[in-house]
Structure formats: structure tokens, C-alpha cells
Amino acid sequence: MHVEITREYINQVEEAIERQDKGFILETMSEMYAADITTVLYELDANESKYVMDLLPPEVGSEILSDLDYDIRTDFLQHFTTKEIARYVNLMDSDDAVDILNEQTVQRREEIIALLDEDRTAAILDLLHYEEDCAGGLMAKELIKVNLNWRVRQCIEEIRRQAEDVARIYTVYVVDNRDILLGRVSVKNLLLSKDDVLIKDIYNPDVISIESYKDENEVVALMQKYDLESIPVVNIQGRLLGRITIDDVVDVMQEQAELSRQLMTGITENVEEDDSVYRISRSRLPWLIIGMVGGLLAAQFMGLFEADIAMLPAVALFVPLITATGGNVGIQSSSIIIQTLSSNTVIFEHFGQRMLKVLLVALLNAAIISMLVFGLTYLFRNDLTLSLVVSVALFSVVMLASLMGTLTPMVLDRFGINPAVAAGPFITTANDLLGLAIYFAVAHALYNL
């Protein structure tokens, strides 16, 4: 039966758990996708979720555990025994199993490994020594590989033999007697070829692979560039070790996007809505303090022009316009550069052409904005000099903010600093100070103060 996940259904599940109505839970969840059941579990507490998990088939439970967010899963698994966890780990892909094992204490991890099936233990132990953020840490050991000298009949038999362990067969990898990756052969070619044809006569030697020590960002860039559904992982000698599938790369891309978003908004660590008040506050405070210091500096800077403001109070009315526009332009420019850097595009090729394009865009934007401001200011204030001051200053601020927003992330990237930290409060604060300096300098020049 199809069940729509609503607040009403969540309440029904909670009531069923309270009265231990196993029939309702199994009946309504029997045809649900694991991802939908995961959505339901997010609305329940740990004990209620554990009750539901115990009723579900182990295969479904293992898929749910693989999908759970790290923070929630870590707390959730505290309610399971090592024997229960091992039952689920035995049914997972090796890369997902390793993720869960790495989240456990050393003692619990060793206890779980001791309870695993023998054929699973070898694959998992082989992956445990890789760092999480490298190709080896992303790869799964489950794949289909065939020998160069086999015949098609043998290959099909091998696919049938390994099909239970490999959930998704994207391609079949071809290796030699030393497991050196030589190429790939599509399932379509195998099915259309005669049984006695040799693999070496039909395989494609054009295969893209990645070394196990490569950073996860390189994995993402490679799979995006060549539109791959999976990519084989090899060691320095070219020996086939495992494969990385598109679902794992999508997870990495989501994490990168979330991290960039948080950094650009001034959040210095990965936090979730349900984290503690202390952790959320700690993640936000550093950039808020930097912004506060920048604001104090701007106020102190404006104090230098206190006499000018007293003589021409109207000048002060346009300070928010100058600072806000400069900040917005800087963020727009830096966002485009950060996006380009994150995609591993060689941004320093044709640097002169790129900067010329940035300059032309800035000129067009600055001209349009400054003319609009000039017209509107003159319309409402009927002061030609004031209108000139605001429009000329705004033109200069837009040009400067575009330049800073473009160059700052590139400079930070060259020094090995995450360019995302250049956005948000940092560029905004810097543009505030420089924008005020330009504004009052123009006012001094045109008013002959």
C-alpha cells in the first residue's frame, strides 16, 4: 500500500510504537523506499527508531543506516549492540561499512569486525587504512573484473557469480594476470558477442582511472569532466583496487556545496540545525566578531570626517548606499571566482583576457548604476554637486569591489587557503572601509572642503 509521509502518518507511527502494533508498521512500510523510511525515522526519537529498525528486514535496515546523516547515525548506533551493527554492516557496500566503522570507538570497531563474515572482513580491513577524503576512502571493493584472456562465456559466468555482491554493474573492468587495469568492456558487448570470443578482442583500452591517494576533489572533477557513472581506483603500479560510484561522488559534492555556503556566510565549521546552542554559536562568532571589528573601524574612520558631515549632513545619508553596493558587488564577483576554482578550472590561463572581461563587466555595471543614482539623487535632492559626489563615488566603489572580489579568492587559492573564506564578512568589511574612503575623498574634491 502507498503511504504519504505526513505529520498525521508520523503521529500514527508513534502511536503504533507506543501500543507495540507491529502489524501497522510492517504493513505501511513494506512497500516504502528506504529513503522514505529514513525520513520517518528523522521525526522519531532514538528508541522509537530502534523499535522500527528491529522490525524491518536487515537489507532495508542496512540501506537506511547508509543514508543517515553522520551526526544522527553516530548517536543512533549507540542504542545498538555490536552484534546488531555487524548484521547490518555485512550487507552494506564496503565503503559504507567502513564509514560506519570509523564512526565507532576503537573497542566497538574491533568487536564489530570480529563478528563480520570472513569474505567481508578482508575487503573492509583493506579500506580502513585510507583517509576519508581521498579516492581510496571513497572507493568500494565490490566490482566486476575479468581477465584479458578469458572468453565471453567465462565473463558472463563471473558476472552471475558476483551479481549478488555488486548492486549496480556500470561496467566490467579488464585486468591481466597481475590485476593491472587494462581497460573495460560493456555488458552490451558481452551479450552481443559469441561465447567463444576472447575478451582481448572486444575490450576497450580507453579507460579513465584515478590513483587511490588522490584527493576527493580530484575524483569529483574527473567524474564531472568526463560524465562518468563510476571510476576505477588503482594503486601506483596500476593494479585495480576498487571503484567509486556516482552516488558517493554526489555525497561529496553536497558536502562541498554545504561547506562553501557556510564559509561564504561566515560559519566556520560544519553545523546542523539540531546541534547544540554552544556549537552553533561557536561556528558563527568568529566572522561576526570580524564584522563587528570592521564596523567599529568604519565608524572610527567616519569620525575623521565628522566636521565635513556637520557642514554637509546630506552626505551622511548616502553612506549605507555606498557600503551596501560595494559589499554586494564584491560578493557577486567572488562567488563566480570561487565556483570556477572549485571546479578545478585553470583560471590563470589567459589571465589577461579574464581580467579584461571582469573590467568590462564592472564598467558596464558601474556606469548604469551611477547614472541611475545620479538621476534619482538629483530628482529628489535637487543638488547637482551632491548627485555628482554620490554617482562618482559609487562608480569608483563598484569598480574597486569587482576587482577585489575577483582577485582576493585567486590570491588566497595561490597561497593554499580555502578561497571561500574570502567571501562574506571579509570582503564586505574591506569594501566598507575602502568605499567610505573613496566617498569622502570625492566629496572633499568636489565640495572643496
Same domain? For 54 and 110 the reply is yes
Query: What does the alpha-carbon distance between residue 48 and residue 26 come to, in Å, rounded to a whole number?
Result: 14
Please give the tally of structural domains in the chain. Answer: 3
Query: What does the alpha-carbon distance between residue 203 and residue 185 come to, in Å, rounded to a whole number?
Result: 5
Backbone φ and ψ for 103, nearest 5 degrees, come out as -85, -10
Percent helix, strand and coil across the chain, each to the nearest 5: 65, 5, 25
Q: Is residue 136 part of a domain?
A: no
- Residues with Cβ within 8 Å of 107's Cβ and at least 6 positions away in sequence, in order, are none
Among 74-83, 184-193, 205-214, 268-277, whose mean pLDDT is lowest? 268-277
Backbone φ and ψ for 182, nearest 5 degrees, come out as -110, -30
Confidence of residue 267 (pLDDT cuts 50, 70, 90): low
**CATH number, domain containing residue 326:** 1.10.357.20
The three cell numbers of residue 180 are: 593491472
SS3 call for 236: coil
pLDDT recorded at residue 271: 57
**pLDDT tens per residue across span 17-47:** 999 999 999 989 988 889 899 999 988 888 8
* Mean local confidence (pLDDT), 110-117: 91
Among 13-27, 90-104, 258-272, 422-436, whose mean pLDDT is lowest? 258-272
The domain in which residue 203 lies consists of: 145-254
Q: Is residue 104 part of a domain?
A: yes
- Asked if 342 and 260 count as a contact pair (C-beta separation under 8 A), the reply is yes
This prediction has a pTM of: 0.64
Same domain? For 389 and 283 the reply is yes
pLDDT recorded at residue 305: 72
pLDDT recorded at residue 427: 73
Q: Is residue 139 part of a domain?
A: no
**CATH number, domain containing residue 153:** 3.10.580.10
Is residue 406 pLDDT above 60, yes or no? Answer: yes
Same domain? For 154 and 125 the reply is no
pLDDT recorded at residue 178: 93
Is residue 114 pLDDT above 60, yes or no? Answer: yes
Same domain? For 118 and 161 the reply is no
Whole-number mean pLDDT of the chain?
83
Q: Is residue 21 part of a domain?
A: yes
Same domain? For 241 and 302 the reply is no
**pLDDT tens per residue across span 229-259:** 889 999 999 999 999 988 888 878 777 766 6
Same domain? For 83 and 155 the reply is no
* Mean local confidence (pLDDT), 411-433: 69
pLDDT recorded at residue 295: 72
Q: Is residue 381 part of a domain?
A: yes
Same domain? For 366 and 288 the reply is yes
Same domain? For 64 and 169 the reply is no
Same domain? For 106 and 193 the reply is no
The three cell numbers of residue 91 are: 550487507
**pLDDT tens per residue across span 306-343:** 776 777 777 788 888 888 888 788 877 877 777 666 65
pLDDT recorded at residue 240: 95
Q: Which helix (H) or strand (E) holds 243?
A: strand 240-245
Q: Which residue has the higher pLDDT, 248 or 202?
A: 202
Strand partners of residue 183: 174
Q: Is residue 249 part of a domain?
A: yes
Same domain? For 425 and 290 the reply is yes
Half-sphere exposure of 318 (CA within 13 A, CB side): 29
Same domain? For 213 and 114 the reply is no
Q: Which residue has the higher pLDDT, 101 or 267?
A: 101
Backbone φ and ψ for 173, nearest 5 degrees, come out as -90, 145
- Asked if 170 and 270 count as a contact pair (C-beta separation under 8 A), the reply is no
Q: Is residue 138 part of a domain?
A: no
Is residue 10 pLDDT above 70, yes or no? Answer: yes
Same domain? For 299 and 159 the reply is no
**CATH number, domain containing residue 116:** 1.25.60.10
DSSP label at 148? Answer: T
**Domain limit, last residue, from 254, 289, 308:** 254
- Asked if 173 and 232 count as a contact pair (C-beta separation under 8 A), the reply is yes
Q: Is residue 17 part of a domain?
A: yes
Query: What does the alpha-carbon distance between residue 289 and residue 287 come to, in Å, rounded to a whole number?
Result: 5
